[in-house]
Amino acid sequence: MESKANVFGRHLKGWQSGAVIVGMALVTAAVVVPRPVVPGAVPSPHVDRRAQKREWRAFHERAKAALEQPLPFEVRAVGEALRGYGAAEEQGEAPRMATWRAQIRQLASRALAEHGAGRLRELRALQTALFVNELARWEKTHEATLDLRQLGGGFIQRARKNGWVVDGRIVADRYERATLFGFRWTRLAALDEHAEFAPTLVGWQTYLRFLIDHPEVGRDGRSRPELQLSYIAGVERRDPGYPAALARGVVLYQARSYALAANAFEDHLANRRDGPHQLRARNYLAQTRRMAAATH
């Protein structure tokens, strides 16, 4: 007669493997089943770091060329007008800013016609390098030099307003600082659409990544969410791989536009079925639907 121990042993044989399978199933269910999670940071755009370093080297070569071979008078005049604009901007003198802006564009057009894009690009690189150096000096002394005030205009005020100053230092790295200034310089000279001055892909990546990661409080009459959405749209136009719908959903959720946020998360899930952010989007959607229901 078979003993009770053998009977139980026969029924429990292989129980370890079964327990492992059940445990794995429970873990998988816990991971896969959506659970409400408050949307966190907006996804950061990709930046090609190798291309960024190549541009940094080329930028320094242009700045060096401007020092080694004196710039023509017409080109230097553009730089002086930009300094005049910066001084007026720092003082908040709108009429003078408008006058200087018109002068910058007129002088830039003339310099471009007489000397070509190369020398103007050298001027932009030289003034960008000077701005980056003066910003580093400000971090040490917290005193704005004349060069920083004229070149950066209201940059320090803008940085403080937007939370870009942490423990006395600007949160932007050297690439981001140069890119922010370069965009400003090009816009003031109205050369955005000129092929020689238009931002490169890595320039756009650097610029938009910084502004998405460090959103502005508000500018040009637009709220912070409106600005963030415009930056996300800018990345989407240039990088098809960026999860723009997910990013929009995060911004809209933070703005308490729950219905629109839910639509954005649903759009992401419908169009990126195999993407790496699927579980995150489902969790965000569950939380967003919960908040939408609670506000009705």
Q: Is the pLDDT of residue 201 over 50?
A: yes
Across 3-12, 118-127, 149-158, least confident range: 3-12
* pLDDT value of position 296: 73
Core vs surface per residue 44-60: b (16+ CB within 10 A) or e: ebebeeeebeebeeebe
E-only strand ranges, 97-252: 165-166, 169-170, 218-219, 222-223
Q: Which amino acid is at 141?
A: T
Nearest alpha carbon to residue 207 among 220, 192, 195? 192
At 217, is the pLDDT very low, low, confident or very high (cuts 50, 70, 90)?
A: confident
Q: What per-residue confidence (pLDDT) applies to 29?
A: 41
Question: Confidence class of residue 21 from pLDDT cuts 50, 70 and 90?
Answer: very low
Confidence of residue 13 (pLDDT cuts 50, 70, 90): low
Per-residue pLDDT tens digits for 248-273 = 999 999 999 999 999 999 999 998 87
Q: Would you say 63 and 122 are in contact if contact means Cβ atoms under 8 Å apart? A: yes
Per-residue model confidence as pLDDT tens digits over 181-200: 999 999 999 999 899 999 99
Highest mean pLDDT among 2-6, 237-241, 243-247: 243-247
Can you give the pLDDT at residue 6?
Answer: 54
Asked whether residue 290 carries a pLDDT value surpassing 90, the answer given is: yes
Q: pTM to 2 decimals?
A: 0.83
Question: Is the dihedral angle over the CA atoms 88, 93, 96, 102 positive or is it negative?
Answer: positive
pLDDT at 8 over 70: no
Name the average pLDDT for the chain. 89
Nearest Cα neighbor of 197 from 293, 111, 91, 92 is: 111
The residue ranges of every structural domain in the chain are 47-214, 222-296
